[in-house]
A and B are shown apart, each in its own frame.
Chain A
Amino acid sequence: MNSEEVKIGVYICHCGGNISDKVDVEKVAEDAGNLPDVTVSRTYTFMCADPGQELIVEDIEKHGLNRIVVASCSPSLHETTFRSAVVRGGLNQFLYEHVNIREQVSWVHASTGEATAKATTLVRAAIARVRHHEPLSLIRVGATSRALVLGGGVAGLRAALDLAVYGLPVTIVEKSSRLGGQVAEFGTVFPTGESGAELVRTLVRDVSALEEITVLTGARVTGATGYVGNFTVMVEQERGDGSTEDLEIPAGAVIVATGSRPYEPDMGEFGFGQFPEVVTLPDFIQILNETRADGDLTVNGKMIRRAAFIHCVGSRQIEGIQKPKPGRPLNENCSRICCTATLKAESDLIEKFPGVFVYDLYRDIRTYGRNHEEIYERASRDGVSFLCYEPATPPVVTMAAPDDTGNLLITVKDNLTAGMEIEVAVDLVVLAVGMEPADVGPLAESLKLPAGADGFLQEVHPKLRPVEMAVAGVVLAGTCQSPRDIEESCASASAAAVKVAGLLTRGHVDLEPYVARVNADRCEGTGICLSQCEYDGALKIVESVIDGRAIRKAVVNEALCTGCGACVAVCPTRAIDINGWTLDQFEAMVDAMCADPVEVASD
Chain B
Amino acid sequence: MSLRADPTLISEIERFGAADVSACFNCGNCTAICPLSKGETVFPRKVIRYLQLGLTEKLEASPEPWLCYYCGECSETCPREANPGEIMMATRRWLISRYDWTGIARKLYTSKVWEVGLTLAVSLFVVLLFVLFHGPMLTDRVSLNTFAPVKWVEYGDWIMAATLSFFLLTNAWRLRRFVMGDVRAGPSIYLSEISTFLSHAMTQKRWRECDHSRMHWLKHFLLVTGYATMLILIMVLLRWFQTDGWNVTSLFGYYATAVLLYVSADMMIGRLRKRHEIHRHSHPTDWMFLILLFLTSLTGILVHLLRMGGMPVPTYVMYVIHLAVAVPMLVVEVPFGKWAHLLYRPLVIYLVTVKAKAKSTVEATETVPVTT
Residues of A bordering B, CB below 8 Å:
306, 357, 359, 376-377, 380-388, 411, 414, 416-418, 420-425
Contacts and interface: CB of A to CB of B under 8 A. Distances in A.
Contact of B26 (A383, A386, A421): A386
21 contacts: A357-B7, A359-B5, A380-B22, A380-B24, A380-B25, A380-B80, A383-B22, A385-B5, A385-B52, A416-B49, A417-B3, A417-B49, A417-B50, A420-B3, A421-B1, A422-B2, A422-B3, A422-B4, A423-B3, A423-B5, A424-B5
Contacts of B49: 416-417
A422 B22 contact: no
Contacts of B24: 380
Contact of A386 (B3, B7, B25): B25
Mostly helix, strand, loop or mixed at chain A's interface?
Answer: strand
B302 interface: no
A354 B223 CA distance: 45
Contacts of B4: 422-425
A417 B59 CA distance: 12
Given A381-B22, A425-B4, 9 more contacts: A359-B7, A377-B80, A380-B80, A385-B7, A414-B53, A416-B26, A417-B55, A422-B53, A423-B4
B23 A381 contact: yes
Contact of A380 (B3, B7, B23): B23
A180 B4 CA distance: 44
A385 B3 CA distance: 15
Contacts of A424: 4-5
B10 interface: yes
Nearest to A377: B80
A425 to B, nearest CB: 8
B53 A385 contact: yes
Contacts of A384: 22
Interface in B41-93: 46, 49-50, 52-53, 55, 80
A597 B80 CA distance: 71
A422 B49 CA distance: 12
Contacts of B7: 306, 357, 359, 385
Interface string B12-49: 00000000101111100000000000000000001001
Nearest to A358: B7
Interface residues of B, number: 20
A424 B7 CA distance: 9
A416 B48 CA distance: 11
A350 to B, nearest CB: 10
B25 A417 contact: no
Contacts of A386: 25-26, 52
Contact of B2 (A306, A380, A423): A423
B2 A385 contact: no
Contacts of B1: 421
A414 B26 CA distance: 12
Contacts of B46: 418
Contacts of B22: 380-385
A357 B4 CA distance: 15
Contacts of A414: 53
A309 to B, nearest CB: 14
Nearest to B22: A383
Nearest to B21: A383
B29 to A, nearest CB: 14
Query: Considering residues B1, B49, B55, which has the most beta carbons from chain A within 10 angstroms of its beta carbon?
Result: B49
Nearest to A404: B4
Contacts of A376: 25
Contacts of B52: 385-386
Interface centre among B2, B5, B50 (most CB of A within 10 A): B5
A347 to B, nearest CB: 12
B236 to A, nearest CB: 49
A127 to B, nearest CB: 64
B2 A417 contact: no
Contacts of B23: 380-381
A40 B158 CA distance: 115
Contacts of A381: 20, 22-23
A366 to B, nearest CB: 14
A422 B58 CA distance: 12
Contact of A422 (B5, B10, B20, B25): B5
Question: Which residue, A377, A388, A411, A423, has most C-beta atoms of chain B within 10 A?
Answer: A423
Contact of A383 (B10, B53, B80): B10
Nearest to B28: A416
B3 A421 contact: yes
B91 to A, nearest CB: 16
A423 to B, nearest CB: 4
Nearest to A421: B2
Contacts of A417: 3, 49-50, 53, 55
Contacts of B50: 417
Contacts of A387: 53
A186 B49 CA distance: 33
Interface string B305-335: 0000000000000000000000000000000
Pick from B1, B2, B26 the residue with the most CB of A within 10 Å.
B2
A377 B53 CA distance: 18
A601 B46 CA distance: 67
Across the A-B interface, give the 3 residue pairs with the lowest CB-CB distance, nearest first. Answer: A421-B2, A357-B7, A423-B2
A420 B20 CA distance: 24
Nearest to B42: A418
A421 B25 CA distance: 19
A186 to B, nearest CB: 26
Nearest to B52: A385
A383 B18 CA distance: 13
A411 B24 CA distance: 22
A298 B190 CA distance: 56
A439 B5 CA distance: 42
B247 to A, nearest CB: 59
B318 to A, nearest CB: 51
A399 to B, nearest CB: 16
B157 to A, nearest CB: 48
Interface string B210-253: 00000000000000000000000000000000000000000000
A386 B27 CA distance: 12
A408 to B, nearest CB: 13
A423 B3 CA distance: 6
A580 B20 CA distance: 73
A411 B5 CA distance: 10
A281 to B, nearest CB: 21
Interface in B123-155: none
Nearest to A424: B5
A354 to B, nearest CB: 12
Contacts of A382: 22
A359 B22 CA distance: 11
Contacts of B80: 377, 380
A418 B113 CA distance: 40
A385 B24 CA distance: 10
Contacts of A377: 80
A385 B5 CA distance: 10
A382 B20 CA distance: 10
